[in-house]
Amino acid sequence: MRLVVPAGGIGGARFLRGLRADVPDAEVTVIGNTGDDISLFGLRVCPDLDTVMYTLGGGIAEDRGWGRADETFTVREELAAYEVAPLWFTLGDRDFATHIVRSQMLAAGYPLSAVTEALCDRWRPGVRLLPMSDDRVETHVVIEDEQGRRAVHFQEWWVRLHAEVPAEQIIAVGAEEASPAPGVLEAIEAADAVLLPPSNPVVSVGTILQVPGLREAIAGKTVVGVSPIIGDAPVRGMADACLTAIGVETSARAVAEHYGPELLDGWLVDDADAAVATDGVPGIEVRARPLYMRDTESAAAIAKATLDLALELRS
């Protein structure tokens, strides 16, 4: 079986770990969000690709959900001693090595997809991890604070400002001119189903869908998604602030309607939102299931339910 999973960071990675456990023999292609990518200290950092790679490769710091396990922060302390900004973004020593390798390869002219493949040679994530695009796409957020109205990098809004300053607009800069990375459209074309993990619908899945051609290609497949919203709140992080910025209510129903029946065939909501399944969403088959990914086992059960619904809707 061939599956495609467009994914952000933590929500995507944990779902994927469950999917790998549920169907170890499936050929899974992950389309990773690169809108969160940022250049820091002269290095290119790809937080979502790395979260997927480390989580599936067994190197993730499980408690934080990002960065490396058994991490130390000596380089960061030394940078701070030089008063080199930004200090609000934490990179560990082990993690730095990944960004050094990536930046070196990018500088030598390799596209991000080739770099990601090289990094995965070490981590063996058990999936084919492709960036959504080799072209640079960066999510910027328009805010207004004491410094006036301005656009900041998504990471500055998310990490430094904790998404507490309202976002007036969220823009994936460069998305319109970007092309899907090599292999992305082919993987979608060959897929038996596309599964949307409970990734951020705006700045993870939403960004991937903005790469020209991807929304149409995915919509042509059987698509089943998992709600990242349980009981009108995101499970982790501040996805509510992103949804508010695009005028979408923070609820499992509103996210399904935002994706819409043109894209989604099926949608899983948590048992807490069973009313959405009972009342129904026009054009989308909705089922209620426990959707907390506590461990690999619970994530595998969610992945199984997602895949089962996809196969059911496909026939």
Site residues for Ca ion, window 45-84 (CB under 5 A)? 48
Residue nearer to Ca ion on the CB measure, 19 or 238: 238
The single-letter code of the amino acid at 278 is: T
Site residues for ligand GDP, window 280-299 (CB under 6 A)? 291-293
**Shortest separation between residue 17's beta carbon and ligand GDP, angstroms:** 11
What is the rounded CA–CA span in Å between residue 57 and residue 127?
10
Is residue 127 a contact residue for ligand GDP (CB under 6 A)? no
What is the rounded CA–CA span in Å between residue 4 and residue 191?
6
Among 3, 7, 8, 49, binds Ca ion (CB under 5 A): 8
Whose structure tokens read 């919509």? 219
Among 22, 36, 95, 270, binds Ca ion (CB under 5 A): 36
What is the rounded CA–CA span in Å between residue 112 and residue 44?
10
Which residues, other chains included, contact 108 with Cβ-Cβ below 8 Å and sequence gap of 6+? none
Is residue 200 a contact residue for ligand GDP (CB under 6 A)? yes
**Shortest separation between residue 285's beta carbon and ligand GDP, angstroms:** 18
What is the rounded CA–CA span in Å between residue 178 and residue 210?
9
Binding pattern to ligand GDP, positions 228-267, x when CB under 6 A?
x-x---xxxx-x----------------------------
Site residues for ligand GDP, window 6-35 (CB under 6 A)? 7-12
Residue nearer to Ca ion on the CB measure, 56 or 309: 56
103 sits in which H/E element: helix 93-107
What is the rounded CA–CA span in Å between residue 17 and residue 296?
6
What is the rounded CA–CA span in Å between residue 10 and residue 294?
12
Binding footprint of ligand GDP on the chain (CB under 6 A):
7-12, 48, 51, 198-200, 204, 226-228, 230, 234-237, 239, 291-293
